[in-house]
Amino acid sequence: MHLAQLNVAHLRAPAHSPEIAEFIAALGPINAISDAASGFVWRLKESNDPTETVKHPYGDLLLINFSVWETRESLWNFVYRSPHLEYLRRRREWFTRVAEPYSVMWWVPEGHIPSLEDGMSRLDLLRAKGPGPEAFTFKDFHEPS
């Protein structure tokens, strides 16, 4: 099984505005690190232009990251043990604080590319019912059954 992760963030201003420019400029290098990382399988992209964020029907200020990894460790090492960590540390400069969960994981069969609708419903499930085998987090991790 492979591990899918969906992660949403609420931008403080539209993606093309000057307040967000530094973050948008970092997408190229950070995506390159993700795509070259050990255990990386797939990432949802709008196009090959890294500054073009994923388009979706969930609101213009919602930024979506959606990817599939071979293991928990490979995803953890990209998120927290790579230059990505510095952008997480500075997240408040570009994103508003949200009280509810903004990141969800679940297991998918190898070779399966999950849909964004599936990901958003997993996030809803996590928000409504808390972590479980169908929708979980790093902190409340579930191994594949």
Partner 1 sequence: MSGDDLDALGALRDPVRRALYDYVAGRDHEVGRDEAAGGAGVGRTLAAFHLDKLVEAGLLDAGFRRLTGRTGPGSGRPAKVYRRSRREHQVSVPPRDYRTLALVLAEAVEELGGEEAAEAAARRAGERAKAPGLREALRERGYEPYDDDGGAIRLRNCPFHVIAEDRPVLVCAMNLALCEGLVAAVGEEDLAPRLDARPGECCVAFSKNKPD
Contact flag: residue 7 with partner 1 (CB under 8 A): no
CA of 98: how far to CAs of 55, 85, 121, in Å?
Answer: 21, 19, 18
141 binds partner 1, rule: CB under 8 A: no
Closest approach of Cβ 85 to partner 1, in Å? 4
> Could you tell me if 95 and 12 are in contact, meaning their C-beta atoms sit under 8 angstroms apart?
yes
Which of residues 19 and 86 has its CB atom nearest to partner 1 in the complex?
86
Task: Provide, rounded to whole angstroms, the least separation between the CB of residue 113 and partner 1.
Answer: 27
Give the residue with the Cβ less far from partner 1, 55 or 89. 89
DSSP 83: T
Phi, psi of 33 (to 5 degrees): -65, -45
Chosen residue from 36, 48, 57, 88 binding partner 1 by CB under 8 A:
88
* Closer residue to partner 1 (CB): 70 or 118: 70
Is there binding between residue 103 and partner 1 (CB under 8 A)?
Answer: no
- In the sheet with 62-69, reading across from the earlier edge strand, the strands are 40-43, 62-69, 2-10, 103-108
44-83: contacts with partner 1 (CB under 8 A): 77, 79-83
The per-residue b/e assignment along 21-47, b for 16 or more CB within 10 angstroms, e otherwise, is eebbebbeebbeebeebebbbbebeee
Among 97, 111, 128, 143, binds partner 1 (CB under 8 A): 97
- Contact residues toward partner 1 (CB under 8 A) are 77, 79-83, 85-86, 88-89, 91-92, 97, 139
